[in-house]
Amino acid sequence: MRIGVTGASGFVGGALIRNAEAQGHKIVAFTRHMHRRIPGVWDVRDFSDPSRIDLKGIDALVHLAGEPILGPWSEKKKREIRESRLSSTRQIVKALNNTRRRPSVFVCASAVGLYGDRGNEILEEESDPGFGFLAEVARDWESEAWQATKTGVRVVSARFPMVLGSRGGAMPLLTKLFRKCLGGKLGNGKQWMSWVHVDDLCKMIFHVLENEDYQGPINFTAPNPVRNAEFTRTLARLLKRPALLPAPAAMIRMVVGDMADMLLFSQRVEPTVLRTTGYQWLYPELKGAMANLLEFPAASPEPAKAPEKATDEEPVPAAKESGTGN
């Protein structure tokens, strides 16, 4: 299969290329940085002007490009996060409309941030969107991508959680902080965190590309979300370091502004579509995923367990009131 990938030089894009090469797929990399060498690709095409994107000869298209969301969110940064996603998707839809032999499937990245801050509620693909900046961006991003269905292309909105990998995302920074004994829970630590190992994420992308029954929104998450306190304990124990420096919600908001929503909002996401169609996770449990990335013996895959039942004894307050969530 010839797979077009935007954002090919990024963390997830690079992992997807490595996995595609191992499976014998040919990758057409779309990038704004034509001078950069991207190993493992079959063809490189210019993405500096999405209105002129060339989709000829591509069987499937995966759209990952967008302004990075890590870092303090100024008003300028928030505009760039939003417009980089919406405008590029809009231009891709136009290109699909103007291409005679179109890709049969368009997988457009989205985010579990769409659900907003939801406490203990188990969130499935059919759950209503929440509120907040990320929720609005993800909702509008999916709406733009869905316009491609008018061209006859199958569309999948891949809702990404925190992606764990050794070459990018938050994991390298967290590992560095915890090794220096600077790690700790965020806020009160009760917020639910949804996550996925990068190798599972790539496997999921190929899974939906190859299966014509998949369309619409899909939660690309591991089947076992954890509370932030458990995430913290797991990483600290694997690294054999204490986690003694909790970050109060007020301090997080003071340092990173509205990006604190991404760290403090509670999102207990269930990958219902993938689970009901028989997808087999490589790393269904957090300990196994982290151990693999840290190259510890405990990295062997573990069987998935049933989701923990929400209880009234340990509610997760709304972040607006308590300063916590994910």
**Three-state DSSP class for residue 14:** helix
Q: If you average pLDDT over every residue of the chain, what do you get?
A: 89
Residue type, 12: V
Q: Is the separation of the CB atoms in 159 and 137 below 8 Å?
A: no
* pLDDT tens sequence across 3-38: 999 998 889 999 999 999 888 999 999 988 777 778
Burial 43-69 (b: 16+ CB within 10 A, else e): ebbebeebeebebeebbbbbbbbbeeb
Please give the Cα distance from 79 to 100 (Å, whole number). Answer: 33
Please give the Cα distance from 31 to 14 (Å, whole number). Answer: 12
Q: Is the separation of the CB atoms in 21 and 2 below 8 Å?
A: no
Rg (CA), the chain: 19
**Three-state DSSP class for residue 20:** helix
Q: What is the pLDDT of residue 297?
A: 53
pLDDT per residue, tens digit, the chain (326 aa), is: 999 999 988 899 999 999 998 889 999 999 887 777 787 888 899 888 877 889 999 999 999 999 988 888 889 999 999 999 999 999 999 999 999 899 999 999 999 999 999 999 999 999 999 999 999 999 999 999 999 999 999 999 999 999 999 999 889 999 999 999 999 999 999 999 999 999 999 999 999 999 999 999 999 999 999 999 999 999 999 999 998 888 999 988 888 888 888 899 999 999 999 999 889 999 999 999 999 999 865 444 444 444 444 444 445 544 443 333 33
Domains of the chain listed by start with CATH number: 2-163+194-219 (3.40.50.720)
Please give the Cα distance from 128 to 138 (Å, whole number). Answer: 12
Spell out where 127-176 has E strands.
154-160, 162-164
* pLDDT tens sequence across 161-200: 999 999 998 899 999 999 999 999 999 999 999 999 999 9
Which residues, in sequence order, are CB contacts of 235 under 8 Å at separation 6+? 174, 175, 178, 183, 243, 290
Q: What is the pLDDT of residue 49?
A: 83
Please give the Cα distance from 90 to 63 (Å, whole number). Answer: 11
> What is the distance of C-alpha 135 from the center of its chain?
14
Query: What are the CB-based long-range contacts (under 8 Å, 24+) for 29-36?
Result: 29/5, 30/4, 30/5, 30/6, 30/65, 31/6, 31/7, 32/65, 33/9, 36/9
Run of H or E including 90: helix 75-98
Residue type, 1: M
